[in-house]
Structure 1
Amino acid sequence: MPAVAAATATAAATTTAVAAAVAPPAFAARATSVEGSPVREILALTQRPGIVSFAGGLPAPELFDTEGLRAAYDAAFALSARRALQYSTTEGAPELRAAVAARATARGLATGADDVVVTSGSQQALTLVTAALIEPGDVVLAENPTYLAALQCFGLAGARVVPVPCDEEGILPDALAELVARERPKLLYTIPTFQNPTGRTLPASRRAAVAEIAARLGLWLVEDDPYGDLRYEGRDVPWLAAHPGAEDRTALLGSFSKTMAPGLRLGWLRAPAALLRAAAVAKQAADLHTSTVDQLAAAHYLATVDLDAHIGTVRAAYRERRDALLGALGRTLPPGCAWNRPEGGMFVWARLPEDHDATALLRTAVAHGVAFVPGAPFHTGAPDPRTLRLSFTTHTPREIAEGVGRLGAALAEYGATPRGLSAGARP
């Protein structure tokens, strides 16, 4: 049967060709040199019921204004469904850019709509600025420790990240000046207000010094401010971007994730015109534009709802939860542990006694039904294995007390077991 023979021969030839196929080219070096986020991995680990998780920096879902946001989406469709479902401009919906500019101006930083590009979360704003400014081998300065996803972003760009010495209040200006003179970095990345992961806030005097150093020595400033609206005590500190010397060199990143809802994936970038234009071109290559319907819903929400009143409700709840965490830590953790008292934000930064290791403790903690994020991955320099980040926003005060009690039990077990002793922990 010639047809069958021909088919068999063809199949055999195909099999031989497949067997002899050459593997596709390798991944880019940056794709294999940058590790995944351990925070995301820990979040996946703690999804089982019953875990009290201090791991994720997540807003409390019960505080979302679901009714207000639903009405805003209804209005976006009712006013112009065709526009809501259509492509949009890369820079963003004009009414949302204007609303962002008005809020920035109200906080003391004169801003026009043309000074703003809407992004798919402030994480994208950081990615766009990095794409516009950083080439492989460029030096980036960052606080030590700092936001883990920023380290990933700079790593993917091929930057060399150099840590800036910090104390309990943040960047040390004299040390920064020495680093800039020695390393000739392209930019400084900083979260000066309620920093992730430490919760600390850079004082106004140091912000002025950082701006002066940037202007005198030639440096871009990238100011990340996702938590600035979440202040529970003390006075607001002006943005770094508002200080003399920073006007022509600061990219300010903002977000609606902590005040509206993170699922909207809405953020914004305020920057000098040339950098804003370069970032818009990078955004065109990335996703053309941020979701039109989400932008229009957010613009309608800002026009019809008192967002500041909603933020006030969130602040009150988070202040109570912060205080519950601080109180429980004081009652529960053993001598040798230490932690700070952030004036706002979502995180408390803690340190275990000497010779303890937070990463090793995490395994014991999860077995006790509690989770946190070890501090080591956040460090830009040599990590401090004793550090850990505790987020207080997603649990009630009663749940927080229960979680800290479990953490105390885990610490006691860690210090009393051979595993703990092998890591140098004292019983």
Structure 2
Amino acid sequence: MSDERISEKVKNVQSSAIRELLKHSKMEGVISLGGGIPNPDLFDREGLQIAMDKVLSVAWKEAFQYGLSEGSPELREAICQLSAQRMISCNPDEVVITSGSQQSLDMVARVLINPGDTVVVERPTYLAALQVLQLAEAKLESVGTDGEGMNVDELEALVKSKTVKAVYIVPTFGNPGGVTLSESRRKQLVELSKRYNFVIIEDDPYSEINFGDKQFKPLTEWAKEMDNSENVIYTSTFSKILTPGARVGWVIAPEWIKRQLVTLKQATDLHTSSLSQALTHQYLATGRLAGQIKLIRESYKQKCDTLCEQLETQMGEHLTFHRPMGGMFLWATFKDGRNTTEWLKATLANGVVYVPGEFFYANNPDRSTLRMSYVTASDENLKEAVARLKASL
């Protein structure tokens, strides 16, 4: 009886497979390649302590008070400075502070999408974005990816045949695919957006976790060069480079949607935690973030290399994958078409967990795929995990 009282739109949202798998990863003796969470050993506890002491000594009244719905002016200014290092030119009036990038996606979807609007995602795509888009009652279409990211030619064929409201993409070191959209495809995507007048939702949690020297110009900046800045909305977060527990993300948006995002923020939670914003601002003021990012890059690159080498050596005859240029994830496909959801029972029995790939598809899932996160396991555990995966064959 009680089930009938739940709204249809909420009943239709799928539970996160990753959240369900977390209970397995907590079991004694299990090595987890499943969770998409940063390594807590790399949280800058000393720097956060310095920042919090500063909050409590000089900014405590503001930190414990209500704040502006669009976010702290000081933090928005600091985000513009951080954005400049990512080749993004913006001003504080374009920035809205959110409670993590998940809220950014939810707010953008609710402001932008009417029930039945067509939204295109990558195949595969970020699981929690699928949940948000389902909740917004979007009609989902998907286009394939390869080693250069989204297949924009496939997208072009789609937008020629039907009206598309928006394209959601994680272009740099993506989740779950671990791939990066090439420069030529970035330009092609922005040009398509201009020609067919659809919005690009650019989700960028991982670009700072770069294993090489090459920087990738964000779509939002390509859009400025191509006179299409009204059609790109950029979201990012401090979760992967500082701490996810603070729940601080942001949106950089053109004025036509930014005003509505602020209004929705008022109706949603008034504003992001003043304490979290103050902590983040004071941390940025310490100047420690660059060193923190360097530490994360070096650690994650080492772990990624270890996992890739072990997979190539131990399981190269069984699966294929693209070596990530950054980020937190490796995506693999079994050559024999093995169903990885079914196979998980065998790997769990051998003490290792991953996320089956089928959960990352809007439609037509490839069940021979899987996502592995390498960032929280030690090098020795990564080697042992691959040995257990091989034994599970």
Place the TM-score, normalised by the shorter chain, in its bin: over 0.9
Aligned to 2:342: 360
Q: Which runs of 5+ in 2 are unaligned?
A: none
Aligned to 2:18: 39
Cα RMSD of the aligned pairs, angstroms, is: 1.4
Structure with larger RCO (C-alpha < 8 A, sep 6+): 2
Which residue identity is paired with 2:33?
F
Bigger CA drift: 232-241 or 164-173?
A: 164-173
Matched, 1:202 2:185: no
Distance between the aligned counterparts of 1:23 and 1:172, measured in 2?
44
For residues 360-419 of structure 1, what are the alpha-carbon distances to aligned partners after superposition, in whole Å with 9 as ceiling and x for unaligned? 1111111111000000010122111110001000011111101111111112xxxxxxxx
Q: CA deviation at 1:146?
A: 0.1
Which residue identity is paired with 1:222?
I
Matched, 1:270 2:249: no
The structure 1 segments of at least 4 consecutive aligned residues displaced by more than 3 Å after TM superposition are: 22-25
Which residue identity is paired with 2:118?
V
Identical amino acids, percent of aligned pairs: 38
Q: Which runs of 5+ in 1 are unaligned?
A: 1-21, 412-427
Which residue identity is paired with 1:330?
E
Q: CA deviation at 1:25?
A: 5.8
Please tell me whether the aligned partners of residues 139 and 159 of structure 1 are also in contact (alpha carbons under 8 angstroms).
yes
For residues 58-115 of structure 1, what are the alpha-carbon distances to aligned partners after superposition, in whole Å with 9 as ceiling and x for unaligned? 1111110011112211211211322111111100011110000111123221111111
Matched, 1:306 2:285: no
Which residue identity is paired with 2:154?
A
Distance between the aligned counterparts of 2:187 and 2:285, measured in 1?
34
Which residue identity is paired with 2:293?
I
For residues 14-58 of structure 1, what are the alpha-carbon distances to aligned partners after superposition, in whole Å with 9 as ceiling and x for unaligned? xxxxxxxx9796321111111100111001221112211000111
Bigger CA drift: 68-77 or 23-32?
A: 23-32
Matched, 1:402 2:381: no
Larger radius of gyration: 1
Q: CA deviation at 1:355?
A: 3.4
SS in 2 for 1:384: coil
Aligned to 2:96: 117
Q: 2:324 aligns with which of 342, 345, 349?
A: 342
Matched, 1:62 2:53: no
Please tell me whether the aligned partners of residues 123 and 361 of structure 2 are also in contact (alpha carbons under 8 angstroms).
yes
Which residue identity is paired with 2:351?
G
Please tell me whether the aligned partners of residues 234 and 343 of structure 1 are also in contact (alpha carbons under 8 angstroms).
no
Aligned to 1:235: 214
Distance between the aligned counterparts of 1:185 and 1:136, measured in 2?
13
For residues 305-334 of structure 1, what are the alpha-carbon distances to aligned partners after superposition, in whole Å with 9 as ceiling and x for unaligned? 331111001110111100110111122216
Aligned to 2:359: 377
Distance between the aligned counterparts of 1:251 and 1:355, measured in 2?
37
Distance between the aligned counterparts of 2:241 and 2:174, measured in 1?
16
- Aligned pair count reads 390
Distance between the aligned counterparts of 2:2 and 2:382, measured in 1?
52
Q: 1:328 aligns with which of 302, 310, 313?
A: 310
Aligned to 2:153: 174
TM-score (normalised: structure 2): 0.97
Please tell me whether the aligned partners of residues 198 and 349 of structure 1 are also in contact (alpha carbons under 8 angstroms).
yes
Please tell me whether the aligned partners of residues 212 and 245 of structure 1 are also in contact (alpha carbons under 8 angstroms).
no
SS in 2 for 1:260: coil
